[in-house]
Amino acid sequence: MKKASFFAIFALLTAYSFAANPQSRSIFIEGTAEYMPHMAFFMEAFSAEASAMSINVSDTKEGAGFTFNFHVQRHSDERDPSISYMILISLIDNETDAELVSFGWAFARHQDMQEHIPFLFYTATALIPGLVVDEVMMIAMPPDNRWQNMRLYLRTSIDYPIVFYSLQPTGLKGGQGAFGPDPDYPEQLQHLDHIIMPRPGLTLGLELVVFNFLSLEFNFHGNLGDTRTYEFINFSAGGRLNLIFRTRNYMIQPYGIFLWHLNSSSEFYEFPQFSAGGGIQIATRGGRSGAFFIDVNFLISPGDVFIHNPYTGLTPYPRLIHYNRFVFGLGIGYKFGFFERRRR
């Protein structure tokens, strides 16, 4: 890889001296490989890069000003047992038969090479006259995507979940009211309604990337408030199963979530032990190893939530009021990565 970087710099420094050369912007691409899928993959990928640079790909060596040659062979690296292959690349001036550029690149699987193809091609072809050097400089250096490929992430976020308590008609007068004990005063009714209450809080978590497309996250939550005040802090622990989709600038993670509630306010007679649901996290680079993210999710609790009747003075019945509970969650945060991993 160091050798490839050296030739990239060399090519950029000397490209101007070749810019006035009237040779045609055309190449002949040829290659060999011990493994046929390698041959097909690299031939197609390099041809596509040539087209993107408006370089004509000739069907014959005689009809081209340059020959782009590659050879894929088996290779091992004691420092990295995952490495299995090496691609050797050279650029030849067909008029003088001089080898202008030559370098190699080690890799584990050809499927992992797609993002490196532009770097390899531009490094090799920077000496072809007429190339825009600024374009080469911008594309030749591979993107630093370490933030997307760490083994472990420590995450923290500020959360603003909105909790919905949907009133159930069980035991209520007309399905909506608490009532008093004296039958002579049937007008003693307390109208009840749904309860909607934001519960700001914090989340701390650890995310372990198990596979290139899958991670597990374990987290701890603290949120303010029950259904009436913000004096109570609710604690819960959770787990997530995340799918991982990467683009050049974003990491998108749809996930399933399970939340175990560790305590509940005395306002509740019975509170669900857990909630479950799903969501999506969208992250963008925040430094070499970290990312800023926004997180949206939806949680639902099984069964009813039982709340003590707060209107015991005139309307003490029913003693317990039934609600269904669900949560719409929103969070923004940062996660810092540790231990860069190799994609397989």
Q: How confident is the model at residue 302 (pLDDT cuts 50, 70, 90)?
A: very high
User: Which ranges of 149-290 would DSSP assign to H, the alpha helix?
Assistant: none
Rounded CA separation 68/66 (Å) = 7
Look at residue 163 and tell me whether its pLDDT is greater than 80.
yes
pLDDT at residue 54, rounded to an integer: 80
pLDDT higher than threshold 50 for residue 135: no
Give the closest residue to 7 by CA, choosing from 124, 129, 138. 124
Which domain-ending residue is among 141, 171, 191?
141
Q: What CATH number does residue 9 fall under?
A: 3.40.50
Task: Tell me what the mean pLDDT of segment 272-282 comes to.
Answer: 95
More confident position, 115 or 321? 321
Residue 299 has pLDDT above 90, yes or no: yes
pLDDT tens, residue by residue, 227-251 = 888 889 999 999 999 999 999 889 9
Q: What is the CA radius of gyration of the chain?
A: 32
Same domain, 189 and 244: yes
Are residues 137 and 155 both part of a single domain? no
Domain identity same for 169 and 227: yes
Quick check: 90 and 102 in contact, CB under 8 A?
Answer: yes
Indicate the residue among 108, 141, 174 that finishes a domain: 141
Phi and psi torsions of 73, nearest 5°? -135, 165
Q: Are residues 225 and 137 in the same domain?
A: no
Per the prediction, the chain carries an average pLDDT of 85
pLDDT above 70: residue 296: yes
Q: Has this prediction a pTM greater than 0.95?
A: no
**What does each C-alpha distance from 135 to 59, 100, 153, 233, 251 come to in angstroms?**
26, 20, 34, 55, 26
Q: Determine the pLDDT at residue 125.
A: 86
Phi, psi of 148 (to 5 degrees): -90, -5
Residues 35, 133, single domain; the answer is: yes
* Contact criterion met (CB below 8 Å) for 138 and 132: no
Query: At 209, which CATH number?
Result: 2.40.160.20
* pLDDT over 90 (residue 317): no
Last residue of a domain, one of 141, 176, 199: 141
Residues 179 and 89 in one domain: no
User: Is residue 99 located within the same domain as residue 137?
Assistant: yes
Per-residue pLDDT at 23: 45
Closest CA to 71 of 122, 105, 98, 94: 105
pLDDT tens profile 186-208? 667 888 899 999 999 999 999 99
**Are 130 and 17 found together in one domain?**
yes
Query: What are the pLDDT digits (tens) for 13-38?
Result: 344 333 434 345 789 999 999 899 99
**CB–CB of 321/312 below 8 Å?**
no
CA atoms in the 13 A half-sphere facing the CB of 47: 13
For the chain, what is the domain count?
2
- Whether 110 and 226 map to the same domain: the answer is no
CA distances from 289 to 39, 65, 297 (A): 34, 43, 25
**Do residues 321 and 189 share a domain?**
yes
State mean pLDDT over 111-130: 84
Alpha-carbon span 10 to 105, nearest angstrom? 17
Checking if the pLDDT of 11 tops 70, the result is no
Residue 4 has pLDDT above 80, yes or no: no
Are residues 53 and 34 both part of a single domain?
yes
Q: Are residues 335 and 187 in the same domain?
A: yes
Residue 112 structural domain: 2-141
Residue 164 binned pLDDT confidence (cut-offs 50, 70, 90): very high
CA distance 9 to 141: 10
